Structure 1
Amino acid sequence: MLTTCLLILSAFWVVSNMFTGKGLNYAVYYHIVNSAEGVSLDDIKMKLLCSLVLMALMAFFIFLCLKIHKRQIVFIKSKYVGICYIFCFIGMLFTAQARNYYDFFSDIYYLNHSDHAGIEKFYHIPTGNIKHKYNYVFIYAESMERTFRNINNINFQPKLTRLADESIDFTNIQQLPGMGWTMAGIVNTQCGIPLVMGQGNTGGRISQFLPGAQCIGSWLRNNGYHTQFIRGSKKEFAGSDKFFSQHGWLEQKDYQYFIDKNMVTADQISGWGVHDDRLTDYAWQEFVRLSSKNSPFLLSFLTVNTHPPMGNMLDVCQDKIINNIDNEMLKSVSCSDYLLSKFIENIIHSKWYNNTIIVLVSDHLMMGSIASPYLDPQADKRRNTFMVFKKGAKPQKVNTAGSLFDVWPTVLDIAGESDKKIGFGHNLLDHSQSHIFKAYVQNNIYPYMSFATALWNYPKITDDMVYEDKKLVIGDQKYALPLVASYDENNRIDSFFFEAIARNMELLGQQKKNFFYAEQCPDKTDLVCAYNVSPNKVEFSYISPQGASREHISNVTPLIYTNKLYGVSSGTYGEEGGVTGDYNEYNFSRGINAMAVKSKDKIFINVDTCQGAEMNENQLKDLYERSQSAIILSSYDSLFCGDKKPLTQLAEIFHDDKWNNIDFRQQIIGVYTPEKKESIIGKVNQPLDVFVGLDRQKILSICQTLTLCP
């Protein structure tokens, strides 16, 4: 089983590395906790296939191990086998993958435990008036890093390189933590901060994206600019629609806009969205339209055709790029080189260039792709693209070490603005490094990351709360229900959980943390039932549209802090589900999940009854024999998918008719001993959370575990 765990970790690393090219990093974490709406299935189908193959191999290996264990098969009779295994295991700890895991979780730990006191003085919010109202065209070129100008002495960006000689070209733009994927690159440039999330922003569960950050869009908008962002992909991807709408952008035009306006044909769309030739054509039309209005604007767009892993070579580029390129991604890079240089040249040769500043950046270094064999050998030399075009500006190469944080401060300096600092950004034309870049070089960037986390403006538990539109409003943020939120010694919320409520609540209890729990009252739909929980006290309140009213206080230590509970969470499809206690946070799989309470061997069984599989009675008997008290059964996703036979079998085994009446995606959790049975059924398509008391082998409600049921 230890070997299986190691293989699963290795498999996860392999799939992560297929996406990032750098194993496990914050980009993986960000996209796990965020919406994947808008992702190209064409680009990830091989990764999904690889994942399925690895999962099948894991399942086969586990099955094989169980067979070997059950039949007590011994392949090698030697006392040295165990010693050899120990040495192999120790060797695994020194692999690059193990180091990657260690570094990643160390980063997460330091991020959550870093003190950002004193960092505030380096964070700047622009407040002045803009003196020179240039029109800005800001281009995010997907993965178009500067490195492609020299791959084995071949320049795959010849046209942009030629244009660079007419621009202010920054040659040393490095990638820091909190960078490395598209949404991060957008936040890095516009807000001058790393993109760090303490908690996912999926499904509208948190209403505001980085509400504490002040970014370039809002500043320009406040100075009378019209702001428009164009992208060929879906605007909902990674929560970017919230970011733009809440940070000064008046218009967002995305994949759906092009579809609704009948502006593209089927052959002008790929898995990631609208092709770049159509996108740049439309961006040019918008530039002409906006320039003709004689009112300042910020026009920005994001390309897609160089998105990993394969890229997308367009027919329009067939005779416009370097001949004899075999690699499809390198072809796509050269195609984008042609399209972007053509777009920039159109502006340079237009009558509006006198009052226009063009900015070209790569949103991040290219992740794992079919071009990786060409990029990986020069990993230490890879740099992002950053070029600025302004009529009358002296062309130059700037080698000052910097990052995407420094883009807008530098652009504003080129524009002649006096108030030009944004976030932690720094003007690279000063030929000095920013404080955050120096901290990165000294391996002390975590306080800056911690500060960026605080810009999500998590409220205090003492802030005003009201119930509005079926959401709990705390301060300025709206949150979906139910929720669990832990908070620090200053009453500042530091983490949220919207799924697996019982399991996560039990984990907080094990950590002796204070937390707040809120749910819609089951018998009063216009009220929220809220619990403020600490090891020595529980306060119960009703929260209405008018505010909160404290109702009960208990000074008894809640059971949640006694380690005498199992937190059991059964979720519907796509939601988190699992159990704490002796099983150390096991995740549930579809169908029925069974486990022995207080079992020395900690046996865990899953049977996919949704596929018609039946529970093996011998397995259950073995569970009873190994258990010191009881067994817990919990559904997950769905027990029933058309075949009632497995449910009938479960009802007969446990002498509990409730199992006969389970509908599709309806959850059930039960506790059984040879002498007694107890089960509880949830509502269809809703998660079910209960606690199991180890002393009495009894199902407890959430309020019972908090020793306070109003």
Structure 2
Amino acid sequence: MESLNLLTLSALCLIGTTFIYRYKAIRNKYITAVIFILTICAVVMNGFWLVCHHFTGDGVSQAVLYTLTDSLEGAEISDYILPSLFAIITCVVLNAALYLFLCKALPGGRRNKLFTVLACITGSMAVVLSPTLYQVSGSTLLNKKVDGSDFSQYYVNKIKNIEKPQYNLVYIYGESLERTYFDEKVFPDLLPDLNKQRAMSLDFSNTEQMPATDFTIAGLVASQCGLPLFKPTAFSGENAGNTFYPDSVCLGDILTKSGYETWFFQGANTHFADKDAFFRVHGIKHVWGLNESGMKDNFDVQNNWGLYDNVVLDNAWQKFSELSAAGQRFALFTLTVDTHPPKGFISPGCKKNSYQIDGQKADALSAVLCSQEDIARFVQKIQASPWAKNTIIVLSSDHLAMASTAVSIDYLNKMERRNLFFILGDTIKPAIKTQPRTTLDNGATVLELLGGEKAIGLGRSSLSEKSLSESVPDFRNKLYAWGDSIRNLWGVPDHIDRFVINAEKNTFTFDDHSYGLPLLINIKPHQVLPMTDDGSRVMSLRQSLSTLTEGEQFIWVDKCFRPGNIWRNEFALSQDWCLTQGKMGGKVTVEKVSGNHYEGNVLNDNTATDTARYRWEQSQLKIHPTNIRYASDSFKFGLEGTPNFIENMMGLSRQESWGRWSDALMAPSVLLLYNAPFPREFNLEIEAKAFGKNINAPVAVKIGDQTQYARFGKDPTKVTLHFTGDMYTRLLNIVPPAPELTREGSVLGSYLISPVRRLGVGLIEIKIVPIVNKTAAK
């Protein structure tokens, strides 16, 4: 409500600005430009908030901030394209209308400078009052109203391991499967199978949703670590290093140290939202997702987010049987996806696949009906197995259904909404517990059931303790007030002096903090902001470095050709690791990382900076990778840009760490146009690999009217072909025999709907070696 009020005030200020400036203000071109810029900012920011609100129901929430500053690899983005395009077009049209209203066919009448000032003030207020700025800045009134200095009194991090574990754990996260769906008056027979199981469970019916726990990765972190997902952002607005509260003790950490083998099964790409990073840091040793399943090319078992629930749960059952039969103590977590908003998906073979409400079929509710059938069958298998007696089963929602959930959200919002959390087990007595609690309490409750302690982070076991949501006044706003303290747990260090680079493991370590390579670190007086790059980031580390201001200190570990193009030309062709450090506009050093173990010190330089040098560095860092040119006698496809001797090229996909794939969707063959004709006689040296049916198949290599064939294996292969030139031909044509349609190497969207490519050969290096005729030379 607070954000909606701000949106209204911002819109009123925007309208007031335009009318005051058009009819009353004294005008000049500079003031007009300022007013127009302010109105554009207000329109765009408010439009962005409305689009986000359409999907989240909470405007620019933590879910939006987290997702937009993280990788989109594995995300299902098709449902968001049309609303986003509509919003963009609407903003463009509205800004064009504002421009015409402000600048064209001005009416006469008396004008006053005071109205000019008033227009500038109201225009500024339209921007400042935008709910987007309000939510992104985090400077909300409630932070000031609630004291956040007592965080350490409530945060529990010293947790003992389970001394004598007796039970295995199966923890099922139901995507958006909130408890509200169990209301038979509103949703009759929507959850018939799960409702029977819930009736036999220990059911916690009053599980509320807290801030920053309302999207999947946040729900996982809340239930495992007892913490909301308040994440710091780095200097470019992107997420800082993906360490996920590295010093916090979470449920997975305790289980692993207590002798449990830990598994996580899900159908989506585990890299989306950095779930894999969370698992890696917090004790989940084995992860099974779309990429690990071996089924990523079998689209018959996939929806737009990943594998169908029945496929995931069948594989989870197989692992359950395997581990149980082996007598291994284990914890098996699994996450469904078929109920993902807005409409959900129906697993093939699902018997209950159609649900009607008020006489009309509702796709989102049909997905809930089908998914609950898959979950219930999985639970029944466990309960009917020989290992049921020593297994505890937990079923919970990861979060409440989002605002974009079609149809059902209209019914849910009329009710008192709660998350799902119930427990089944041979020794569990059925009961309904109605005490107030939150998803932050889930992990602590499970831990006590397994014989451990009663608190994790801000979570308390609902078996024997009061939830902080009940014992701490105004707990929801208290979490916001604790926001800075929670972000400090993220693992962003406050200083760096010495560091170690492990080139074999591709890690950078200092003061017990470890990050993957490549890595960029912005060193501030009292804060160190690291940022890694896995190839799926919207902004590269090179571009992120360009956002630093003059004099800011940094460390950059990356392939040598990236900093080499700017600060050290002799490294411009090297694909070794290089350490670059210094300060923008000042002294910058670039050196190769020698050996697999490199120890270094932070360079401290107090000399003055040079503004002209800083501006030149900025211009170089901002050059788009495709526009980079380098001097070389060969085309090294793993480098950014192209060599100077290439005039143009077609048929190549994006640059990757090893080279570039041919892509028949861009052109039927790879065409390389050289600046100068080929020599009279020469060898063409090609290092490449092949994809799919192209492996060891003849690849046509054409120059002029000459065609020769080369064969490349799955691994890099070097081939030398002999050609003669005619002193006119400049075009090299490489024709893969059987380009295959695939989403291999996708870095945008889910694997199923991400941009496809037709891959043939992967080019690593091509070199022209002239042959000198010795007789002619004499």
Structure 2 residue aligned with 1:570: 622
TM-score by length of 1: 0.68
Deviations 1:29-57 (A, max 9, x none): 001111111112xxx32421232233234
Q: Percent identity?
A: 24
The Cα shift of 1:266 comes to: 3.3
The Cα shift of 1:153 comes to: 2.6
Structure 1 residue aligned with 2:369: 334
Deviations 1:312-340 (A, max 9, x none): 13453344765655211011112122222
Asked whether 1:133 is paired with 2:166, we answer yes
The Cα shift of 1:267 comes to: 2.7
Deviations 1:172-225 (A, max 9, x none): 111112211111111111122122221379999846443222222222122221
Match of 1:102 among 128, 134, 140: 134
Q: Using the alignment, how far apart are the partners of 2:141 and 2:301 within structure 1?
A: 45
Structure 1 residue aligned with 2:178: 145
Does the CA contact (< 8 Å) of 2:438 and 2:469 recur in 1? Answer: no
Match of 1:404 among 439, 442, 447: 439
CA 1:204–1:448: 2 relative to 1, 3 Å? closer
Q: Using the alignment, how far apart are the partners of 1:321 and 1:313 within structure 2?
A: 9
Structure 1 residue aligned with 2:279: 244
Q: Using the alignment, how far apart are the partners of 1:373 and 1:564 within structure 2?
A: 51
Q: Within 5 Å, give how 1:615-630 maps onto structure 2.
A: none
Does the CA contact (< 8 Å) of 1:276 and 1:303 recur in 2? Answer: yes
Does the CA contact (< 8 Å) of 1:137 and 1:300 recur in 2? Answer: yes
Q: Using the alignment, how far apart are the partners of 1:422 and 1:235 within structure 2?
A: 24
Structure 2 residue aligned with 1:548: 600
- Unaligned 5+ residue runs, structure 2? 1-35, 533-540, 558-562, 572-576, 628-665, 668-778
Q: Within 5 Å, give how 1:175-574 maps onto structure 2.
A: 175-199=209-233, 206=241, 208-260=243-295, 266-319=299-352, 326-367=361-402, 368-371=404-407, 373-375=409-411, 377-378=413-414, 381-415=416-450, 417-430=451-464, 432-434=466-468, 438=472, 441=475, 443-446=477-480, 448-469=482-503, 472-475=508-511, 476-478=513-515, 480=517, 483-489=520-526, 492-493=527-528, 498=541, 500-501=543-544, 504-506=547-549, 515-518=553-556, 520=563, 522-523=567-568, 528-531=579-582, 546-548=598-600, 553-554=605-606, 556=608, 558=609, 570=622, 572=624
Q: Using the alignment, how far apart are the partners of 2:411 and 2:115 within structure 1?
A: 41
CA 1:467–1:180: 2 relative to 1, 3 Å? same
Q: Secondary structure at the match of 1:22?
A: coil
Deviations 1:370-424 (A, max 9, x none): 1354245336x21110011111322111122221221121123234x24242222
Deviations 1:280-334 (A, max 9, x none): 2222222222221222111111101000111113453344765655211011112
CA 1:93–1:574: 2 relative to 1, 3 Å? farther
Does the CA contact (< 8 Å) of 2:346 and 2:353 recur in 1? Answer: no
Q: Using the alignment, how far apart are the partners of 2:211 and 2:249 within structure 1?
A: 20
Structure 1 residue aligned with 2:194: 160
What residue identity is the alignment partner of 2:283?
G
CA 1:103–1:325: 2 relative to 1, 3 Å? same
Does the CA contact (< 8 Å) of 1:205 and 1:478 recur in 2? Answer: no
CA 1:529–1:255: 2 relative to 1, 3 Å? closer
The Cα shift of 1:248 comes to: 1.9
Q: Using the alignment, how far apart are the partners of 2:123 and 2:62 within structure 1?
A: 26
The Cα shift of 1:78 comes to: 5.6
What residue identity is the alignment partner of 2:581?
A
Q: Using the alignment, how far apart are the partners of 1:303 and 1:163 within structure 2?
A: 18
Does the CA contact (< 8 Å) of 1:18 and 1:369 recur in 2? Answer: no
The Cα shift of 1:91 comes to: 11
TM-score by length of 2: 0.62
Does the CA contact (< 8 Å) of 1:486 and 1:496 recur in 2? Answer: no
What residue identity is the alignment partner of 2:311?
R
Structure 2 residue aligned with 1:674: none
What residue identity is the alignment partner of 1:20?
T
Q: Using the alignment, how far apart are the partners of 2:327 and 2:55 within structure 1?
A: 44
Q: Using the alignment, how far apart are the partners of 1:218 and 1:80 within structure 2?
A: 69
Does the CA contact (< 8 Å) of 1:178 and 1:449 recur in 2? Answer: no
The Cα shift of 1:573 comes to: 7.9
Coordinate RMSD, CA, aligned: 4.5
Deviates more, 1:170-179 or 1:340-349: 340-349
Deviations 1:40-89 (A, max 9, x none): 2xxx32421232233234345555666777xx522654669997997999
CA 1:501–1:272: 2 relative to 1, 3 Å? closer
- Unaligned 5+ residue runs, structure 1? 576-640, 643-710
Structure 2 residue aligned with 1:608: none
The Cα shift of 1:144 comes to: 0.3
What residue identity is the alignment partner of 1:102?
Y
Does the CA contact (< 8 Å) of 1:531 and 1:541 recur in 2? Answer: no
The Cα shift of 1:275 comes to: 1.0
Deviations 1:463-508 (A, max 9, x none): 322444376543332365673524354xx425759454465322x8
CA 1:245–1:17: 2 relative to 1, 3 Å? same
Does the CA contact (< 8 Å) of 2:63 and 2:214 recur in 1? Answer: yes
Corresponding residue pairs, total: 559
Q: Secondary structure at the match of 1:148?
A: helix
Structure 1 residue aligned with 2:105: 74
Q: Secondary structure at the match of 2:41?
A: helix
Q: Using the alignment, how far apart are the partners of 2:84 and 2:58 within structure 1?
A: 17
Does the CA contact (< 8 Å) of 1:207 and 1:477 recur in 2? Answer: no
Q: Using the alignment, how far apart are the partners of 1:312 and 1:85 within structure 2?
A: 55
Deviations 1:249-280 (A, max 9, x none): 23211113333599xx5332111111112222
Q: Secondary structure at the match of 2:262?
A: strand
CA 1:450–1:499: 2 relative to 1, 3 Å? farther
Deviates more, 1:72-81 or 1:320-329: 72-81
Asked whether 1:14 is paired with 2:50, we answer yes
* Higher radius of gyration, 1 or 2: 2
Does the CA contact (< 8 Å) of 1:540 and 1:550 recur in 2? Answer: no
Structure 1 residue aligned with 2:155: 122
Q: Using the alignment, how far apart are the partners of 2:491 and 2:215 within structure 1?
A: 23
Does the CA contact (< 8 Å) of 2:42 and 2:126 recur in 1? Answer: no
Structure 1 residue aligned with 2:704: none
Q: Using the alignment, how far apart are the partners of 2:273 and 2:237 within structure 1?
A: 8
Asked whether 1:32 is paired with 2:68, we answer yes
Q: Using the alignment, how far apart are the partners of 1:132 and 1:88 within structure 2?
A: 67
CA 1:116–1:435: 2 relative to 1, 3 Å? farther
